Amino acid sequence: MRKMIELKNITFGYDADSPVLKNYSLTINSGEFITILGHNGSGKSTLSKLLVGLMEPQQGEIIIDGELLSEDTIPTIRQKIGIVFQNPDNQFVGSTVRDDIAFGLENKCVSYDVMNELVERYAQKVGMEKFLDSEPHYLSGGEKQRVAIAGVLALGANIIILDEATAMLDPRGRENVMNLIHELVEDRDKTIIMITHHLDEAVKSDRIIVMNEGEIILEGVPKEVFQEKELLESVKLDVPFAVKASYELKQRGLLKEVVTNDEELMDELCKLHSNR
């Protein structure tokens, strides 16, 4: 597997005494869907700002797609990496959906015809093709986030960072954005890093990284990570319902194992019922 992102011994802090990230190392492979979990202030959003070169670590190096992140390589690296931020309104630059998807392409000096083709293709991909001429204040938060994702896709980035991209959305908006993300994951041609504090959004990821106070405290596939119910709760994270319920059922001697998602829970319970 090809390494897409490598963080080597990163230390970063806004002031020297209290680093937000401490000697942080992480490798992410090409095509991986990875979720970084942590409560507010655990350092997870700092990580995303470092990756896109908005901030610079005091120590350590960041290598993206084989290239060392530095002042000189930032422009080329930014072509490979796209980010969707938390606040849907504050990243919508264009005055219409079409303008906003095109913003990055305009900066790249893409020609009019190519640009139009790309904008329409990716508007369709995120299901916003009917809204190309809509202005942002007529769109819901979820719709704006989908437009932001289209903007990233149109630029041809092969790494997508979603920095709490669903945190300000209502349930419907969140569901739509999560469905879109899962669709992108199925395509398998993007490396996707999702930063969130919702554990239920992490269920389908290849790997989960749990952060607390600037350090990785837990790492693994969802199944392994969710077994650590107590550890997760101790770092202020809430485990998904299926984990909680199966954990409790295990305590009562009904289930043998903690399961991670609702479907598995149903299967296990039905099995139990028919075995009786």
Complex with other proteins: residue 9 or 79, whichever CB lies closer: 79
- Report DSSP letters for 233-264, one per residue: HHTT-PPPHHHHHHHHHHHTTS-SS---SHHH
**Any contact of residue 119 with other proteins (CB under 8 A)?**
yes
**Any contact of residue 178 with other proteins (CB under 8 A)?**
no
Applying the rule CB under 8 A, the residues between 1 and 30 that interact with other proteins are: none
Q: How far is CA 73 from CA 53, 62, 113, 193, 244, in A?
A: 10, 11, 29, 21, 46
| Contact letters for other proteins, residues 215-254 (x by CB under 8 A) | ---------------------xxx--xx-xx--xx--x-x
Three-state DSSP class for residue 175: helix
Complex with other proteins: residue 9 or 114, whichever CB lies closer: 114
CB 97 within 8 A of CB 134: yes
Q: Shortest distance, CB of residue 91 to other proteins, whole angstroms?
A: 4
**Any contact of residue 137 with other proteins (CB under 8 A)?**
yes
56: tokens are 């610079």
Q: How many residues bind other proteins (CB under 8 A)?
A: 72
**Any contact of residue 179 with other proteins (CB under 8 A)?**
no
- Report DSSP letters for 11-50, one per residue: EE-SSTTS-SEEEEEEEEETT-EEEEE--TTSSHHHHHHH
Which member of 155, 165, 181, 211 binds other proteins (CB under 8 A)? 155
Which member of 28, 52, 162, 218 binds other proteins (CB under 8 A)? 52
Complex with other proteins: residue 10 or 249, whichever CB lies closer: 249
Backbone angles phi, psi at 145, to 5 degrees: -65, -35
Single-letter amino acid, residue 38 = G
Question: Look-up: residue for tokens 């709760």?
Answer: 233
Applying the rule CB under 8 A, the residues between 75 and 104 that interact with other proteins are: 75, 78-79, 81-83, 85, 87, 89-96, 98-99, 102-104
